[in-house]
A and B are shown apart, each in its own frame.
Chain A
Amino acid sequence: MSRIGVFVCHCGENISRTVDVERVAAQVGKMPGVAFATDYKYMCSDPGQTLLKKTIQEQKLSHVVVAACSPRMHEKTFRKAVEAAGLNPYLCEMANIREHCSWVHEDKQEATAKAIEIVGMLVERVKKNRVLPTITVPVTKRSLVIGGGIAGIQAALDIADAGHHVVLVERDPSIGGHMAQLSETFPTLDCSQCIMTPKMVDVANHPNITLYSYSEIEQVDGYIGNFQVTIRRKARSVDEDKCTGCGVCMEKCPVKKIPNKFDCNLGMRPAIYVPFPQAVPNTPVIDRDNCIKFKTGKCGLCQKVCGPGAVDYEQEDRLVVEPVGAIVVATGFDLYTIDEKPKGSMIKGYGEFGHGKIPDVIDGMTFERLASASGPTGGKILRPSDGKEPKQIVFIQCIGSRAREKGISYCSKVCCMYTAKHTMLYHHKVHDGQAYVFFMDARTPGKAYDEFWRRSIEEEEAVYIRGMVSRLYQKGDKIVVMGSDIAVGVQVEIEADMVVLATAIQPRTGADSLAQKLGISYDKYNFYSEAHAKLRPVECATAGIYLVGACQGPKDIPDTVSQASAAAAKVMTLFAKDKLEREPIVARVKEAGCVGCFACKKVCAYGAVEEKEIRDRQGNLIKVVAYVNPGVCGGCGTCQATCPSKSVELDGYTDEQIVAMIEAL
């Protein structure tokens, strides 16, 4: 016979205002199996929990029901208290008489009656609760970092410095990401290369980091602490171990006029190339679409001139499997493409502002390459059309961002600041030039950010005009920009030599397919979703996977670096234990009844269902049944609902428990 204790909480006045808690306690006290029932003002407070613990011991309670708020709020609190009193925590249940009752009803009589019914259901349910042991799983203390931009680099270095091995996977031939493309960085104007390249070299030299550049994630299996990640190492056509990075192959390559994506197609590169001179690893890659050898079978010049014989035309994609315990996702962003719509994306192209049609209308990243000392113009700001220095330059903010009509309603967060930076870089390089900025709002929340923006106006003499540009058009070799100053209420027309569009940040093309491989959730834009916007900002809802940088939402460098270190700390917390404990709310197969139809396997969203062979002592196969891996199971209960022979049960939510609840009504 169970001795159930029921504790009814007033929640200050939240519950007691509409529910007669004393009557609830009195009524429930009369129910069969209930040995004790009381009410208290704040059950979750220290005296409330002490009352709970003391009563469990004094009354020798076998089960506990706390009638209070939602289990989402305090189930953990009370289960912990119950455990401290010597009971199995899973013998404690919560009856939600706040969100489900007092907050949504006005009539005290009816609300009290409903509260009694709710508590009664939980009393019947808790009678069927089983003692559940905590599940432990081992932890592989190696980590995978996806993406070699500043986010991935910082996370990898932090984890590696803590003494754990890191596998860093980068899709492009070199790590560095978008930050390597930038000229200078706000709000301090320090050169991006100067602060970035040392970190890239650290990654290459770190004994705890394995760098797979020019590689992509093929498949992810397993669960927290025990992932098996298959990585596709794309054929580079150059042996990384043999190559010395001398660069002779690049000099001799007869194909020289391929637009370099790294330089926003302003500079040219050969068919065998490193994207930029400071690349890590400094190993060239052959662009097979443009190489004469791959197109016609002739040439082969790079192989002939290569001293160490590193060029290998026969190289093929290789698959590598790495066991890891944690995954850090740092895949970054793409810039809004103005004239094309990414496949499968809800985001529309702009179709305005002449980008792609007028050669001197460029985007912010192109301006960065123009202003960069290592860029295609050697740091001189010159028009792409005729190579002249623009004396009148117009910057337009919020291109794509906050344009609901185009499918983006978010703010890209960095454009206000980088446009302010652009006006400064321009003023430093073109002293007799004048910069104009058309903007809707200036959003500068960050340390020393607003001061930076004001400096661009007050000291660097940029003219900021509040009001969005309605259209621009080519007139001779000028671009006429038509806007308005909303403070004055007058239309403004500027004849510019060059126009720079501050285009929005959007998720990487293909971000959704990686998310599906990883089993993590993403929002309508394909930004990856964190587990909790405020309290778990770097964790995914999927255990063991962490988010860093712009793949989670638009972010600047300081925020990205902080988030990278935060995620690294989370990984280290995970690796601090040899075994992981997790809630035992998992599905369990009753092997006797299982017929091996594997309907459960088909519906399992977590890939937790495996096939298990049952053999007799002689080793003869009796039957194949389903087995739920408790480390992977998410406890959703879909298998239980699907199983035709009722052979799967979700612990804590068994059919028996649910039916008992219904019958109590």
Chain B
Amino acid sequence: MIISQSTMDVDFVRKVEALSGTSVRRCFQCGKCSAGCPMATFMEHPPNRVVRLLQLGQWQRILAGRSIWYCASCETCSTRCPNKVHLASIMDALRKLSWDAEGPSKESYVQLANKLFLQNIRTYGRQYEMRLAAVFNVKSGQFLKDLMLGPKLISKGKLKMFHSKNKNLPEIEKIFTRIEEMRKKGEAL
């Protein structure tokens, strides 16, 4: 698909700059971030290209892809950037914006998995893998994915058939509400 003015969303760039507290325009594409990124080989857009796409306001392309979810937040890019672009913060901001956007990010399984993971924590106070796997498979539409691993994990005691609740559930709920309030006020990502 060709990049044209109609897809160049400069407001999105400003949003990322405000959230991350770092300049996106400052990047001059030296490529050092991609050169040192341990996850770059797994990404369809290496880190430098993520920034370049961002400069051109191509948020759909970034959020539709998996690059931002493969980022391990190791901050090697930020540490080495010769131009003071804090790429790790940009990645954080992009993940947050992807989370908020009910758009192309739906395609991302990583985001779905993360969402379900947190839902489980909120409901049970700890992880309930059986439910996580089942709901993930249903919601992602791949019903039989990893099905044969189930019996093996159950026999080894790694996968519980029934859930057990954390006794400090109200405390955990407090953490979630506090973070939600902070995000509303813009104090957290």
Contacts and interface: CB of A to CB of B under 8 A. Distances in A.
Interface of A: 392, 434, 454, 457-458, 461, 463, 465-466, 485, 487-488, 490-495
Nearest to A436: B5
A488 B4 contact: no
Contact of B3 (A434, A458, A490): A490
A488 B26 contact: no
B2 A463 contact: no
Contacts of B48: 487
Contacts of B2: 490-493
A495 B29 CA distance: 25
Contacts of A487: 29, 48-49, 52
B1 interface: yes
A434 B52 CA distance: 18
Contact of A491 (B3, B10, B23, B55): B3
7 contacts: A392-B5, A434-B5, A461-B10, A488-B49, A491-B2, A492-B4, A495-B4
B48 to A, nearest CB: 7
B53 interface: yes
Interface residues of B toward A: which range? 10 to 19
A398 B86 CA distance: 32
Contacts of A454: 26, 28
A461 B10 CA distance: 10
B25 A458 contact: yes
A488 B52 contact: yes
B3 A493 contact: yes
Contact of A495 (B3, B5, B53, B58): B5
Contacts, number: 44
Nearest to A458: B25
A454 B25 CA distance: 9
Given A488-B49, A488-B53, A458 B26 contact: yes
A267 B111 CA distance: 61
Contact of A490 (B1, B23, B55): B1
Nearest to A459: B25
The 8 A-B pairs with the shortest beta carbon distances in the complex, nearest first, are: A487-B52, A492-B3, A491-B2, A493-B4, A458-B25, A493-B2, A487-B29, A488-B52
Given A485-B56, A487-B49, A488-B56, A461 B25 contact: yes
A457 B56 CA distance: 12
Nearest to B31: A487
Interface string B42-75: 0000001100110110100000000000000000
Contacts of A493: 2-4
B56 A463 contact: yes
Interface in B3-18: 3-5, 8, 10
A485 B25 contact: no
A485 B52 contact: yes
A501 to B, nearest CB: 20
A495 B6 CA distance: 10
Contact of B25 (A457, A490, A495): A457
Given A487-B29, A495-B4, 20 more contacts: A392-B5, A457-B25, A458-B23, A458-B25, A458-B26, A461-B25, A463-B56, A465-B56, A485-B52, A485-B56, A487-B49, A487-B52, A488-B3, A488-B58, A490-B1, A490-B3, A492-B56, A493-B2, A494-B4, A495-B5
Nearest to A465: B56
Nearest to A492: B3
A contact face: mostly helix, strand, loop, or mixed: strand
A542 to B, nearest CB: 45
B186 to A, nearest CB: 24
B170 to A, nearest CB: 49
Nearest to B28: A454
B94 to A, nearest CB: 16
A491 to B, nearest CB: 5
B59 to A, nearest CB: 13
B158 to A, nearest CB: 43
B3 A485 contact: yes
B29 A466 contact: yes
Interface string B11-41: 0000000000001011011000000000000
Nearest to B8: A463
Contacts of B52: 485, 487-488
Nearest to B26: A458
Contacts of B53: 488
Contacts of B58: 488
A487 B31 CA distance: 10
Contacts of A465: 56
Contacts of A461: 10, 25
A466 B27 CA distance: 13
B101 to A, nearest CB: 21
Contacts of A463: 8, 55-56
Interface in B172-188: none
Contacts of A494: 4-5
From A392, A434, A466, A490, residue with most partner B Cβ within 10 Å: A490
Nearest to B48: A487
A237 to B, nearest CB: 53
A466 B26 CA distance: 15
Contacts of A457: 25
Contacts of B5: 392, 434, 494-495
A466 B4 CA distance: 15
Contacts of A490: 1-3
Nearest to B6: A495
B34 to A, nearest CB: 11
Count chain B CB atoms within 10 A of each CB in A454, A466, A488 and give the residue with the most.
A488
A339 to B, nearest CB: 28
Nearest to B51: A487
A461 B25 CA distance: 8
A465 B3 CA distance: 11
A492 B4 CA distance: 6
Nearest to B50: A488
Contacts of B23: 458
A466 B49 CA distance: 13
A451 to B, nearest CB: 12
Contacts of B25: 457-458, 461
A493 B2 CA distance: 7
B27 to A, nearest CB: 10
Contacts of B1: 490
A463 B5 CA distance: 11
Contacts of B56: 463, 465, 485, 488, 492
Interface string B123-141: 0000000000000000000
A491 B28 CA distance: 19
Contacts of A488: 3, 49, 52-53, 56, 58
Max chain B C-beta neighbours (<10 A), residue from A392, A461, A463? A463
A392 B55 CA distance: 17
Nearest to A457: B25
Contacts of B28: 454
Contacts of A492: 2-4, 56
A485 B2 CA distance: 10
Contacts of A485: 3, 52, 56
Chain B CB within 10 Å — which of A434, A487, A491, A492 has the most? A487
A452 to B, nearest CB: 14
A527 to B, nearest CB: 31
A531 to B, nearest CB: 39
A488 B2 CA distance: 11
A58 B173 CA distance: 106
A491 B2 CA distance: 5
A416 B1 CA distance: 29
